[in-house]
Amino acid sequence: MLENLRLSFLIVFPFLAYMTIGFLLRKFRVVEDEFTARLNRFLAGVLLPVNIFNSLYDKDLSSAFKNPTALYCGAGVLLLTLVLIWLVPKWEKDPAKQGAMIHCGFRGNCMLYALPIAQGIFGRDVPEVVIVLAVVVLINNFEAVPILEHYRNKTPKYAASETSSRLSFKEMALGWLKTPLLIGVLLGTLWALLRIPMPAFCGKVISGMAGTVIPLAFMTLGARLNFGHLKANKKNVIRMSLIKLVAAPAVMLLLPLLARWPEESIVAVMVGLGAPSAVICYAMTELYECDADTAGEIVSLSSALSMITIFLWIFGLKQMGFIH
C-alpha cells in the first residue's frame, strides 16, 4: 500500500508542482492574463498537435485500432451529454447557465491534461490512449457548437427576437477539419500506417518540441485558475466538478474493471472521462453568449480538484491491481 501511495504521488506531483508554479507566477504578476491566453492558444494550436504527432508517427497502430476502447469512450461521452441535458435543468433554470454547465460537463481537457497523465503513468507514449482521446476530442467538437447555440437561443434576449441563427453543417464540418489537435492525430496516424521514414534530425526537433508540452501546459493551467465568482455559483460549480471528475469516470470504469481490460485501456477510460473541464469551455461559452463566469469557475475548480481525484484514481487502481 505504501509503495502504491509513493508511486501515485510521484506520478501526480510534477503536474501539481507545475500548476502551483503557474498560479504563483500569475499571483505575483510575473505573467499576465493576456500572456497566458496567448500561450494557451500556442499550446492548443502548435505544441499539443506536435506532441500528438510525436506520440503516433513511429508506432505500430495495429493493436490500437483493434481495441474497442475508443468506441466505448466515445459512447460514454455521448451518454454523459444526454444525462446532463436531462439533469442540469432540474438544478438550474437559466438557459445561459444551463449551456455553460452542460458544455463544461461533457468537454474534458483531454489532450492538454489526460495525455501527459497517461504518459506519466506508463513512462512512455501509449497509442491506444492517443486514439481514445482523439475520438473524445472529435465528439466534443461535434457537440459543442449545436449545444451552445441551442441554449443561447433559449435565453430571453434571443427567444424574444429574430436573431436566432441556424446551424450550418458545412461550416461545422470545416471547423472540425481545421482543428489543430485532430490534424495532429490524422498526420501522425497516416505517417505511422504508411511507415514513412523520419530523418533523425527532424525527429529530434519534434521530440524536443513535444518535451516542452507538460511543463508549459500545466503552468499555463495553473496561471489561468480563477475563483472570483465561485461564491455566487458554488452549488452548480461543485456539482459539475464532481460529475466530471468522479461520477463519469466511476460509471464508465465499471465494465472495463469487471471485464479485466488491459491496463492501457483502463487508463484510457480513466483519463478520457475523468479529465477536468477544458480550458476552451470558457472562451466558447463567452462566444456563444452563455454564462462565461460559471464556465470559468467549473474549469478552475475541476482543474484544481483533478490533482486530488487523479491521485486517488491512480492509487485505487494500483491498489486493486488493475494497473502496475
pLDDT (tens digit per residue) in 43-62: 878 888 888 888 778 877 76
Whether 194 shows a pLDDT value over 90: the answer reads no
Give CA separation, 292 vs 38, 259, 281, in Å.
19, 40, 8
- Mean pLDDT on 187-202: 87
User: What is the C-alpha to C-alpha distance for residues 219 and 18, in angstroms, rounded to an integer?
Assistant: 5
Q: pLDDT per residue over 276-305, tens digit each?
A: 988 778 777 877 778 888 888 888 888 889
Q: At what angle do helices 69-91 and 234-242 cross, to 10 degrees?
A: 160
Q: Write out the residue range of the structural domain in which residue 35 sits.
A: 2-319
> Residue 53: its pLDDT value, please?
87
> Residue 122: its pLDDT value, please?
83
CB 16 within 8 A of CB 309: no
Question: 277: which strand partners?
Answer: 108
Mean confidence (pLDDT) of the chain = 83
Q: What is the DSSP letter of 89?
A: H
| Residue 177 located in a structural domain | yes
Whether 2 shows a pLDDT value over 90: the answer reads no
| Residue 279 located in a structural domain | yes
> Residue 82: its pLDDT value, please?
95
CB 110 within 8 A of CB 212: no
Helix or strand or coil: residue 227? Answer: coil
Tally of residues, the chain: 324
Question: 25: which strand partners?
Answer: none
User: What is the C-alpha to C-alpha distance for residues 200 and 212, in angstroms, rounded to an integer?
Assistant: 19
Whether 164 shows a pLDDT value over 60: the answer reads no
Q: pLDDT per residue over 112-138, tens digit each?
A: 777 788 888 888 777 778 788 878 887
Residue 307 belongs to a domain with what CATH number? 1.20.1530.20
Q: pLDDT per residue over 212-263, tens digit each?
A: 888 888 888 788 777 766 666 788 899 999 999 999 999 999 999 999 999 9
pLDDT band of residue 159 (cuts 50, 70, 90) is low
Q: pLDDT per residue over 263-274, tens digit each?
A: 989 998 998 899
Domain count, the chain: 1
CB 273 within 8 A of CB 108: yes
| Residue 324 located in a structural domain | no
